[in-house]
Structure 1
Amino acid sequence: MFTHYDPESAALTVELHDQFKAFIAGQWDAAKLAAHQTDRLREVVAYARANSPFYRRHLAALTDEEISGLRIDGLSRLPFTTKDHLRKAQFDVLSRPVSEAWTFYETTGTTGAATPCPRTNADTIHNNTVLTAYYRDLLAAHGDRQVIGVSGPSELHATGDTFGDVCRNLGHAVAKMWPHSPVIGFDRALEVMRLLPMTGLFCTPGMALRLAQKATEAGLRPREDFSLDVLLLTGELMSPSLLANIGTLWGAKAYNVLYASQEASVLAAATSDGSLRTAPLINHYEVIDPDTLESVEPDPAGVRYGELVVTNLYAGAKPLVRYRTGDLVMMTEPGPGAAVPAPAVRAVGRVHDRLSLNGHPVNGYELEDLLLAPFRGYLDYQITVGDDAGRDRLFLTLKADEAVVRAGTEHAVRACLDVLDTTLTVEIGTPGPITSTGAMVSWKAARVVDLRTGRSDENGAAERIAAMRK
C-alpha cells in the first residue's frame, strides 16, 4: 500500500508485474533476455562503482568505456566479490546510505562479523515480485484462503517481512512467530498453530522437525492434531529424502520453496512443476569450478555443477557484482514442460562442506539423500564420521521409533557400501539442539560430527547457539 504514496515504486511494481507475466508466459526469447541482462549489467556496475566506496576501489581498473561495453558472456574481466570482502568492508559495500532504505537487516554473524543488508523499496519490489509470480500457481493448488505461519531466525532477518508481503500479494493470511523467542516459545507456537488453525508454514527443515518433536513430547500427533496442508521450507540443505520425511511427519505436502541469502537476496524460487527456478530478470548467474575459478560447462546430461556466482541486476541498496556464494549447485536449462522458462537449480551444499569417504568425494545433498532414503517418520538425525584402522566409517543416529529404524536399516547399510564403499551403523538416539542450528551456521556443523578432523569455528558457533536452545 505504500506505493500509493511513492509514485516511483508504484511505477516499478507495474513494470515488473508486466515483465514477469510476459516472461512466465514464454513471451521473452533468448535475444530479449540477453539484451535485458546486458543493459541491467552495465547499469548496475556503473551504479555500484559510482556509489559504493568498496566497489569504487574494487572496480577501479575498469574504465567508463569498458563498463559501457560489458557483455553477459564477458564477465571474466570483473573481479569476484567474496564473503570476506563483505565482512571487511561492512557499510562501505552499500551503494545507498541506510537512511534511504525502508528497512535494515543483517546476517546472523555466527561465523564472522555480521554484515549490513538494508533494503530499499526497489530491492523489495524486485525480489518479492519473483516470489509472488512463482508461488501463485504453487499455492493455488492448496486453496485460495490459506492461513500461513512464518518462522524466521531473528528479528533482523528478512524472512518475516518477505513472506508476509508475498502472502499478502496472493491473498493469504499470515501469522509471524519465532518459536526460539523467549516470549513465544514452542508451546505457544504449537498452540497458535492449532488455534487458527494454520494451514501452511514457512520455516527451515530443522524448524519443521523441531516443531514435530515438541508436539510429540507434548502428547500431540503432528498428522492428526494439526491442519497443515503445505510446508514451505527454506534456509538449509534439503535433500528429497529429508523433504519426504518432513511431509510424512506432518501429513502435508512439503516443498523446497526458496534458495536465497541475506546478502544476495532471492536466487531461485519454487514453481508449480516442483523445481526451484532462477530469476534471470533480476540476477545473472555463473557456475564456476571452486578450485580453478573457471566457468563450468554442462555435462552430457546438461547439468552444470560447481559454485554459484551471482550478479544482481537491479540498483538497490547493495547490488553485488560477481558474488561468490560459497554454495555448490547443480543447474539445468529449462525443458519444454517448465512452469517458468528459467534454469532449475539445486543447492547441494557449501563448498567447504564437501567430504571424502574412503576416496569417494560426496557433497551434503548426496550424503543426506543416500542415508535417509529408506527411513520415514524420524524426528531428527545426525551423521558421525569415524576412522577404523585407516578406513572411514559412518554412523547415522535417528530420533525415531524402533520400527522406523528397523524398516530402513538394511537398505541404508547396503546403499552406503555400494555407493561410497563405506560401512554404516544405524542407531537410535537424540542428537540434541545442535541439529537446529543449520540455518544459522552450516549443514555440516549442525548435522555432521567428523571425528577425523578438529573442531572448526563453525562447530564452536553451532555449539554456542545450541546451548541457548536447550
Structure 2
Amino acid sequence: MFTHYHPDSVRLTAELHDMFDDFSRGNWSADSLESHQVLRIREVLSYVRTHSPFYRERLAGLTEQTIAGLRLDDLPRVPFTTKDDLRTAQFDMLSLPVSEAWVFYETTGTTGVPTPCPRTESDSIHNNTVLTSYYRDVFAAHGEKLVIGISGPSELHATGDTFGDVCRDLGHAVAKMWPHSPVIGFDRALEVMRLLPVNGLFCTPGMAMRLAEKATEAGLDPRTDFSLDVLMMTGELMSPSLLANIGSLWGAEARNALYASQEASVLAAVTSDGALRTAPLINHYEVIDPDTGQAVRPDADGARHGELVVTNLYTGAKPLIRYRTGDLVRMTDPEPGAAVPAPRLEALGRVRDRLDLNGRLVNGYDLENLLLRRFHGYQDYQITVTRDDSGQDLLALTLKADPAHVRDDVEQAVEDCREVLGIPLTVGFGTPGPITSTGAMVSWKAARVVDLRARVSTENRSAERIAATRT
C-alpha cells in the first residue's frame, strides 16, 4: 500500500521499523518488553470494550479502573475467545465497520461457517513489519534483487497481498500464480517459474511437492531445470523431515516461513537462523493445557508444550483477546545468538488432529517427522491407521517415490517406529491422490491420514469435496 497518502500510516511505519530494528539488535530488556506488552494489552482491552459488540458484553465485568491496573499475571482472569465465538459473533466481533478497513478477507469456511477478517492499514503495517524485519536477512543470503513466486489463493485471502507487500518492501519482484486457478494451471506456473526465472517461492509443502511432481511428469528436473534458491512454505504442518525432503527435491533451501491464520494474522515467522520465532512486539503469547485451560510450565528442556493462546497488541479491525488458536505448539525462550531475541516456536498441528495410538496421544508434527526422517525424494505421502484383531494399532506409510531410491531406508523407518511408538509400520509405494493437497484448506489429519478405526468426519468430507474439484 502507498502509505504516503495516509500520514498516520507513514508515522506508524517509521515507528514500527525503528522499534523492530532496535528489538532485533537485542536492545530491549525483559523489563522493557514486559512494559510494552502491559501498556498495549491495557490499550487493546479498553479499545475492544468500547468498539466491539462481542467484547463489550464478554468483558462487561472489567472496569476501566481494573484495566488500567492490569498486569501480565492478571491476564488469565480474562475470558478466552474461541473459534466458536468467532463463528457465532461474526461481524459483532469486529471493532470497526468494514468500511473503515482497507481490505476484506475471511476464513475459508471449509470446516465451519466463514468468519470475517477485515484489516485496516494499521493491522497490515503491524503484521507486515514483522515479516519484513525477519525475512530481510533470509532473502539477503540469496541476492539483493530476487524474483519471488507466490503460489497461494488470492480471493478473500491474505496470501498474495501480504507476501507481495513484504517482498516489495524488501526490493524483490513478485509473480503471483495460483496453479489451482483455471487461468494459470500447473503447466503455465512451471513455465513462468523457468521463464523469469523465479528464485524464491511462497507456497504450501503440498504445493512444493505437487509442482515437483508435475515438473517431473513434463520431463523436467526440478533441481537443474529451475532456478529456485529458497522455498518459503506455510499453511500446513511442516516437520524437519518434510522440509529436508522438499529441499532435496528442488536442490534449494526449504524454510518453514510463517505460522499465521486469517483470524489472528502473523504469529511467528522464520529468521535467518532457520528458526520460526514469535513476534512479541505485536502479540502476547500463552501456552495452556488444552484440556484444563491452565498455563503449562516449561519441561526439562525449557519448552512449553500445549495449546497456543494469543492476544493481539495493536488496535484495528478485529483485535483478539486470549484467542485459543486450537493449535499445539512447543515454545522455547530464545537461545544465545538467536537471529532475533524472540522465543522459538514449533507448530505441532491442531489439538483435534492428535492421534490416539495404542492409548498414547501423538501430534501430527512428531508423527510425520518420525515416519519420514529416513526418506528423501518422495513427491507425496499418506499415513493409514488400522487396528488388528487383538486391538493393536498399526501404521502404514504410502510414498509416491521410486522404490529403488528409498528401499534401503524402509527397514530403518520400520525400526524407528517400533522403537519410539512400539507400533508396527509397513511402507508401500503409490499415489495417494489429490486429497493430500487439501491440508491448508481443511487440516493435516484430513489430508494426510486415513484412519480406518474412526468414522468419516465433517473434515474428511470437506477434504474429499475439495479434492474432487482438483482431480
Q: TM-score range by the shorter chain?
A: over 0.9
Partner of 1:392: 393
**Does the 8 A contact of 1:231 with 1:255 survive in 2?**
yes
Q: How does 1:325-364 map to 2 (within 5 A)?
A: 325-364=325-364
Partner of 2:91: 91
Equivalent residue pairs, number: 470
Q: Secondary structure at the match of 1:22?
A: helix
**Does the 8 A contact of 1:304 with 1:330 survive in 2?**
yes
Partner of 1:224: 224
Partner of 1:8: 8
Distance in 2 between residues matched to 1:21 and 1:269, nearest whole Å: 15
Q: How far 1:173 sits from its partner (Å)?
A: 0.5
Normalised to the residue count of structure 2, the TM-score between the two structures is: 0.99
Distance in 1 between residues matched to 2:270 and 2:63, nearest whole Å: 39
Distance in 2 between residues matched to 1:78 and 1:417, nearest whole Å: 44
Distance in 1 between residues matched to 2:72 and 2:205, nearest whole Å: 35
Q: How does 1:209-288 map to 2 (within 5 A)?
A: 209-288=209-288
Partner of 2:367: 367
1:113-145 deviation per Cα after TM superposition (whole angstroms, max 9, x unaligned): 111111100000000000000111111111111
Q: How far 1:360 sits from its partner (Å)?
A: 2.7
Distance in 2 between residues matched to 1:38 and 1:360, nearest whole Å: 39
- Structure 1, 110-119 or 54-63: larger mean CA deviation: 54-63
Distance in 2 between residues matched to 1:40 and 1:320, nearest whole Å: 13
Normalised to the residue count of structure 1, the TM-score between the two structures is: 0.99
1:389-421 deviation per Cα after TM superposition (whole angstroms, max 9, x unaligned): 111000100000011331210011000011111
Q: Secondary structure at the match of 2:224?
A: helix
**Does the 8 A contact of 1:150 with 1:202 survive in 2?**
yes
Q: How far 1:153 sits from its partner (Å)?
A: 3.0
Q: Secondary structure at the match of 2:319?
A: coil
1:180-227 deviation per Cα after TM superposition (whole angstroms, max 9, x unaligned): 011111111111111101111000001101111111111211111111
Q: How does 1:98-177 map to 2 (within 5 A)?
A: 98-177=98-177
Distance in 2 between residues matched to 1:60 and 1:182, nearest whole Å: 49
Q: How does 1:171-186 map to 2 (within 5 A)?
A: 171-186=171-186
Quick one: which amino acid aligns to residue 446 of structure 1?
A
Partner of 1:202: 202
Partner of 1:290: 290
1:335-355 deviation per Cα after TM superposition (whole angstroms, max 9, x unaligned): 111111110000011000111
**Does the 8 A contact of 2:154 with 2:161 survive in 1?**
no
Q: How does 1:420-431 map to 2 (within 5 A)?
A: 420-431=421-432
Quick one: which amino acid aligns to residue 434 of structure 1?
I
Partner of 1:300: 300
Quick one: which amino acid aligns to residue 455 of structure 1?
V
Distance in 2 between residues matched to 1:285 and 1:242, nearest whole Å: 27
Partner of 1:444: 445
Q: How far 1:154 sits from its partner (Å)?
A: 4.1
Distance in 2 between residues matched to 1:250 and 1:337, nearest whole Å: 29
Distance in 2 between residues matched to 1:89 and 1:153, nearest whole Å: 26
Distance in 2 between residues matched to 1:304 and 1:163, nearest whole Å: 30
Distance in 2 between residues matched to 1:187 and 1:270, nearest whole Å: 30
Distance in 1 between residues matched to 2:47 and 2:405, nearest whole Å: 56
**Does the 8 A contact of 1:288 with 1:296 survive in 2?**
yes
- Structure 1, 452-461 or 60-69: larger mean CA deviation: 60-69
Q: How far 1:372 sits from its partner (Å)?
A: 0.3
Q: Secondary structure at the match of 1:307?
A: strand
Distance in 2 between residues matched to 1:407 and 1:436, nearest whole Å: 28
Partner of 1:433: 434
1:149-201 deviation per Cα after TM superposition (whole angstroms, max 9, x unaligned): 00113411101010011101111110001100111111111111111011110
Answering whether residue 317 of structure 2 is matched by residue 317 of structure 1, we say: yes
Partner of 2:404: 403
Partner of 1:30: 30
Distance in 2 between residues matched to 1:132 and 1:41, nearest whole Å: 24
Distance in 1 between residues matched to 2:199 and 2:404, nearest whole Å: 29
Partner of 1:458: 459
Distance in 2 between residues matched to 1:271 and 1:189, nearest whole Å: 28
Quick one: which amino acid aligns to residue 464 of structure 2?
E
**Does the 8 A contact of 1:148 with 1:173 survive in 2?**
yes
**Does the 8 A contact of 1:37 with 1:281 survive in 2?**
yes
Distance in 2 between residues matched to 1:81 and 1:361, nearest whole Å: 25
Query: 5+ residue gaps in structure 1?
Result: none
Query: 5+ residue gaps in structure 2?
Result: none
Quick one: which amino acid aligns to residue 271 of structure 2?
T
**Does the 8 A contact of 2:154 with 2:160 survive in 1?**
no
Quick one: which amino acid aligns to residue 68 of structure 2?
S
Q: Secondary structure at the match of 2:115?
A: coil
Distance in 2 between residues matched to 1:259 and 1:404, nearest whole Å: 32
Quick one: which amino acid aligns to residue 318 of structure 2?
K
**Does the 8 A contact of 1:147 with 1:172 survive in 2?**
yes
Q: Secondary structure at the match of 1:346?
A: strand
Distance in 1 between residues matched to 2:69 and 2:432, nearest whole Å: 55
Distance in 1 between residues matched to 2:149 and 2:332, nearest whole Å: 32
Distance in 2 between residues matched to 1:152 and 1:86, nearest whole Å: 24
Distance in 2 between residues matched to 1:165 and 1:407, nearest whole Å: 45
Distance in 1 between residues matched to 2:71 and 2:371, nearest whole Å: 44
Quick one: which amino acid aligns to residue 404 of structure 1?
H
Distance in 1 between residues matched to 2:409 and 2:53, nearest whole Å: 56
Q: How far 1:361 sits from its partner (Å)?
A: 2.2
Q: Secondary structure at the match of 1:225?
A: coil
**Does the 8 A contact of 1:287 with 1:306 survive in 2?**
yes
- Structure 1, 154-163 or 111-120: larger mean CA deviation: 154-163
**Does the 8 A contact of 1:405 with 1:427 survive in 2?**
no
**Does the 8 A contact of 2:49 with 2:55 survive in 1?**
yes
Quick one: which amino acid aligns to residue 46 of structure 2?
A
